[in-house]
Chain A
Amino acid sequence: MISFNLLVLVSLLYVAFLFIVAFVAERRAALGKTGWLRSSAIYTLSLSIYCTAWTFYGAVGYAARSGLEFLTIYLGPTLVMIGWWWLVRKLVRIGRAQRLTSIADLISSRFGKSTGLGVMVTVLAIIGITPYIALQLQSVTQSIAVFAAGSGEVWAQRDLDGAAMWVAIGLAVFTVVFGTRNLDAHERHDGIVLAIAVEAVVKLFALIAVGIFVVWGVAGGVGATMDLIDASAQSQWAPSPSRWIGLIFVSGAAFLCLPRMFQVLVVENSDERALGTASWAFPTYLMLMSLFVVPIAVVGLDLMPEGSNPDLFVVTLPLSEGREGLAILAFLGGFSSATSMVIVATLALATMVSNHIVAPSWLTSRTTGAAVSGDVRGVVVASRRIAIGVIMTLGYIYFRLSGGGTALAAIGLVSFTGIMQVLPAMIGGVFWRGANRWGAGAGIAIGFAVWAWTQFLPSFGIDGVISQAVFDNGPFGINWLRPHALFGIEGIDPLVHVAFWSMLLNSGAVVLVSVLTFPNPLERLQGAQFVNVYDYSSDARAWSQSAAQAEDLLVMTQRILGSAEAQTVFRAEAQMQGKSGFLPDVTPDFIGKLEREMSGSIGAAAAHAMIGQLTEGATVSVDDLMAVADETAQIVEYSNQLEAKSAEQERTARALREANDKLTALSIQKDAFLSQISHELRTPMTSIRSFSDILRDGEVDGDARRRFAGIIHDETNRLTRLLDDLLDLGVLESGQVQLNIGEGTLADVIDRAVLASGIDETKVSISRRANAEAVTLSTDMDRLSQVFINLISNVAKYCDADEPELRIIVRPMDGQLAVDFCDNGTGVPQESQSVIFEKFSRLEDEGKAGGAGLGLAICRQIMTAIGGGIAYLPGQGGAAFRVTIPTD
Chain B
Amino acid sequence: MTQAPPNDSPPKSPIKTGPRTKFLERSNYRQRRFRDAARWLPLFGAVFMVFPLMWPRETLDQSLTSSSMIYLFALWVILAVLAFVLNLVLRVSDSIDGDEGTDERGSE
Spell out A's residues near B (CB within 8 Å). 29-30, 32, 67-68, 71, 75, 78-86, 89-90, 96, 184-186, 226, 229-230, 232, 235-239, 241, 244-245, 248, 272-273, 275-277, 279-281, 283-284, 286-287, 290-291, 294, 431-434, 524, 527-528, 531-532, 534-540, 564-565, 568-569, 572, 576, 589, 593, 596-597, 628, 631-632, 635-636
What residues of chain B lie closer than 8 Å to A569, measured between beta carbons? Answer: 5
Q: Which 6 pairs between the two chains have the least Cβ-Cβ distance?
A: A83-B42, A531-B106, A280-B83, A280-B84, A85-B38, A276-B87
Please determine whether B65 and A284 come into contact, CB atoms closer than 8 angstroms. Answer: no
A812 shortest CB reach to chain B, Å: 58
Chain A CB within 10 A, most for which of B39, B46, B83: B83
Please determine whether A287 and B76 come into contact, CB atoms closer than 8 angstroms. Answer: yes
Indicate whether B24 reaches chain A with its CB closer than 8 angstroms: no
What residues of chain B lie closer than 8 Å to A286, measured between beta carbons? Answer: 76
What residues of chain B lie closer than 8 Å to A632, measured between beta carbons? Answer: 13-15, 17
Indicate whether B22 reaches chain A with its CB closer than 8 angstroms: no
Please determine whether B65 and A279 come into contact, CB atoms closer than 8 angstroms. Answer: no
A284-B10 contact given A75-B49, A632-B15, CB 8 Å threshold? no
A290–B73 Cα distance when bound, in Å, is 9
What residues of chain A lie closer than 8 Å to B16, measured between beta carbons? Answer: 535-537
Please determine whether B39 and A226 come into contact, CB atoms closer than 8 angstroms. Answer: no
Indicate whether B28 reaches chain A with its CB closer than 8 angstroms: no
A291–B72 Cα distance when bound, in Å, is 10
Please determine whether B7 and A593 come into contact, CB atoms closer than 8 angstroms. Answer: yes
A629 shortest CB reach to chain B, Å: 9
A516 shortest CB reach to chain B, Å: 15
Please determine whether A276 and B2 come into contact, CB atoms closer than 8 angstroms. Answer: no
What residues of chain B lie closer than 8 Å to A85, measured between beta carbons? Answer: 35, 38-39, 90
Q: Could you list 5 further interchain pairs (A-B, Cβ under 8 angstroms) beyond the known A29-B1, A89-B92, A538-B12? A: A79-B49, A236-B63, A277-B87, A287-B76, A569-B5
Please determine whether B108 and A433 come into contact, CB atoms closer than 8 angstroms. Answer: yes
A78-B72 contact given A276-B92, A532-B101, A534-B104, CB 8 Å threshold? no
Please determine whether A82 and B10 come into contact, CB atoms closer than 8 angstroms. Answer: no
Please determine whether B45 and A236 come into contact, CB atoms closer than 8 angstroms. Answer: no
Indicate whether B66 reaches chain A with its CB closer than 8 angstroms: yes
What residues of chain B lie closer than 8 Å to A244, measured between beta carbons? Answer: 50, 53
Please determine whether A287 and B77 come into contact, CB atoms closer than 8 angstroms. Answer: yes
A226-B66 contact given A79-B42, A276-B92, A538-B7, CB 8 Å threshold? yes
Can you report 20 residue pairs joining A to B where beta carbons are below 8 Å apart? A79-B42, A79-B46, A82-B80, A82-B83, A83-B38, A184-B1, A229-B66, A230-B66, A238-B61, A245-B50, A291-B73, A294-B69, A433-B106, A531-B106, A572-B5, A576-B10, A593-B7, A596-B5, A631-B13, A635-B17
What residues of chain B lie closer than 8 Å to A596, measured between beta carbons? Answer: 5
B56 shortest CB reach to chain A, Å: 13
Please determine whether B65 and A78 come into contact, CB atoms closer than 8 angstroms. Answer: no
**Cβ contacts B68-108/A at 8 Å (1 or 0 each):** 11001100110111111011001011000110110011111
Please determine whether B3 and A186 come into contact, CB atoms closer than 8 angstroms. Answer: yes
B4, B81, B97: the one within 8 Å of A572 (CB) = B4
Spell out B's residues near A (CB within 8 Å). 1-17, 35, 38-39, 41-43, 45-46, 49-50, 52-53, 60-61, 63-66, 68-69, 72-73, 76-77, 79-84, 86-87, 90, 92-93, 97-98, 100-101, 104-108
A873 shortest CB reach to chain B, Å: 53
Please determine whether B5 and A593 come into contact, CB atoms closer than 8 angstroms. Answer: yes
A795 shortest CB reach to chain B, Å: 65
A839–B63 Cα distance when bound, in Å, is 111
A279–B63 Cα distance when bound, in Å, is 33
Please determine whether A272 and B93 come into contact, CB atoms closer than 8 angstroms. Answer: yes
Residue of A nearest to B55 (CB): A239
B5, B52, B60, B72: the one within 8 Å of A597 (CB) = B5
Please determine whether A535 and B98 come into contact, CB atoms closer than 8 angstroms. Answer: yes
What residues of chain B lie closer than 8 Å to A281, measured between beta carbons? Answer: 80
What residues of chain A lie closer than 8 Å to B53, measured between beta carbons? Answer: 239, 241, 244
B3, B63, B84: the one within 8 Å of A185 (CB) = B3
Interface residues of chain A: helix, strand, loop or mixed (majority): helix
B11, B42, B106: the one within 8 Å of A82 (CB) = B42
B15, B77, B92, B104: the one within 8 Å of A272 (CB) = B92
What residues of chain B lie closer than 8 Å to A80, measured between beta carbons? Answer: 42
A532-B106 contact given A75-B49, A239-B52, CB 8 Å threshold? yes
Residue of A nearest to B6 (CB): A96
A30, A89, A239, A283: the one within 8 Å of B80 (CB) = A283
A433–B107 Cα distance when bound, in Å, is 6
B106 shortest CB reach to chain A, Å: 4
What residues of chain B lie closer than 8 Å to A534, measured between beta carbons? Answer: 97-98, 100-101, 104
A86-B39 contact given A79-B46, A287-B77, A576-B8, CB 8 Å threshold? yes
What residues of chain A lie closer than 8 Å to B5, measured between beta carbons? Answer: 569, 572, 593, 596-597
What residues of chain A lie closer than 8 Å to B80, measured between beta carbons? Answer: 82, 280-281, 283-284, 287
Please determine whether B83 and A30 come into contact, CB atoms closer than 8 angstroms. Answer: no
B14 shortest CB reach to chain A, Å: 4
Residue of A nearest to B46 (CB): A79
Please determine whether A230 and B84 come into contact, CB atoms closer than 8 angstroms. Answer: no
Residue of A nearest to B84 (CB): A280
What residues of chain A lie closer than 8 Å to B98, measured between beta carbons? Answer: 534-535
B52, B61, B65, B79: the one within 8 Å of A229 (CB) = B65
Please determine whether B108 and A434 come into contact, CB atoms closer than 8 angstroms. Answer: yes
What residues of chain A lie closer than 8 Å to B72, measured between beta carbons? Answer: 68, 71, 75
Please determine whether B49 and A248 come into contact, CB atoms closer than 8 angstroms. Answer: yes
What residues of chain B lie closer than 8 Å to A631, measured between beta carbons? Answer: 13
Please determine whether B11 and A538 come into contact, CB atoms closer than 8 angstroms. Answer: yes
What residues of chain B lie closer than 8 Å to A291, measured between beta carbons? Answer: 73
What residues of chain A lie closer than 8 Å to B93, measured between beta carbons? Answer: 272-273
What residues of chain B lie closer than 8 Å to A565, measured between beta carbons? Answer: 2
A283, A432, A635, A636: the one within 8 Å of B79 (CB) = A283
A79–B17 Cα distance when bound, in Å, is 35
B72 shortest CB reach to chain A, Å: 6
Chain A CB within 10 A, most for which of B4, B5, B72, B107: B5
Residue of B nearest to A241 (CB): B53
What residues of chain B lie closer than 8 Å to A83, measured between beta carbons? Answer: 38-39, 41-43, 45
Residue of A nearest to B76 (CB): A287
Please determine whether A230 and B42 come into contact, CB atoms closer than 8 angstroms. Answer: no
B27 shortest CB reach to chain A, Å: 18
A229–B63 Cα distance when bound, in Å, is 9
What residues of chain B lie closer than 8 Å to A527, measured between beta carbons? Answer: 106, 108
Please determine whether A535 and B15 come into contact, CB atoms closer than 8 angstroms. Answer: yes
A582 shortest CB reach to chain B, Å: 15
What residues of chain A lie closer than 8 Å to B1, measured between beta carbons? Answer: 29-30, 32, 184
B94 shortest CB reach to chain A, Å: 11
What residues of chain A lie closer than 8 Å to B73, measured between beta carbons? Answer: 287, 290-291
A524-B108 contact given A272-B92, A532-B101, A593-B5, CB 8 Å threshold? yes
A756 shortest CB reach to chain B, Å: 72
B7, B90, B105: the one within 8 Å of A276 (CB) = B90
What residues of chain A lie closer than 8 Å to B45, measured between beta carbons? Answer: 78-79, 82-83
A274 shortest CB reach to chain B, Å: 9
